[in-house]
A and B are shown apart, each in its own frame.
Chain A
């Protein structure tokens, strides 16, 4: 039921920069801010970026977010082995009664 589209996978070597895209529509990303979650294997998702580009306390500044129109991106610079995880974008969708929609998820592999 995901209405936000992400590439299924991305990869890079340690130290590289990896970018993940998230494509939505005017009722979600086009109207509201975007958040990103990191899910390490076997754990609960953790908020990584909120309100397009804000990092919660404790999140390294290697992680950055941006938004333009109905798309958003998460960038990981200086990729590290511990960044190997699933990443999900999310945004509020104003359609119907409103709902919070997640992206399809991107598996990041550190080569």
Chain B
């Protein structure tokens, strides 16, 4: 059973870079069938897709964040990572990592990690 676990600092200062890692267990991140991505949810609000990456480095980013977002894959450690630069309080959210399936006309995310709260504050 595939499982994903987010890790990283829970507190980031404004203007700094948020960095998170997702460790995948129970399956290989090297599978060409899937994308690996990030979704966030501000406290009390809805879901926002940040972007996805495949093991070949092909990326899709939400354009509202694209200039500040970098994603990467580390197949040797079965992990993938997210960096968001120049953070503000608006980036405070629970960040989820997830596996995505992509095919013509179809895209969905399953499973998800448990999520990690990142607070942006000085």
Contact = CB atoms under 8 A, between A and B. Distances in A.
Contact of A47 (B49, B106, B110): B110
- In the A-B complex, the 8 residue pairs with the smallest Cβ-Cβ separation, listed nearest first, are A47-B110, A92-B107, A100-B49, A102-B47, A44-B112, A35-B108, A50-B108, A105-B46
Contact of A44 (B49, B106, B115): B115
B60 A90 contact: no
Contact of A50 (B37, B39, B110, B115): B110
Contacts of B27: none
B63 A44 contact: no
A97 B61 contact: yes
B105 A104 contact: no
Contacts of A91: 107
A97 B60 contact: yes
Contacts of A99: 49, 60-63
A46 interface: yes
Interface of B: 37, 39, 46-49, 52, 60-64, 96, 100, 105-115
A37 B49 CA distance: 13
B46 A88 contact: yes
A32 interface: yes
Interface in A16-75: 31-33, 35, 37, 43-47, 50-51, 56
A105 to B, nearest CB: 5
Nearest to B62: A99
A100 B63 CA distance: 11
Interface in A70-100: 88, 90-92, 96-100
A35 to B, nearest CB: 4
Interface of A: 1-2, 31-33, 35, 37, 43-47, 50-51, 56, 88, 90-92, 96-105
A96 B51 CA distance: 14
Contacts of A51: 106, 108
Contact of B109 (A2, A31, A43, A100): A100
Interface centre among B46, B61, B106, B108 (most CB of A within 10 A): B108
Nearest to B60: A98
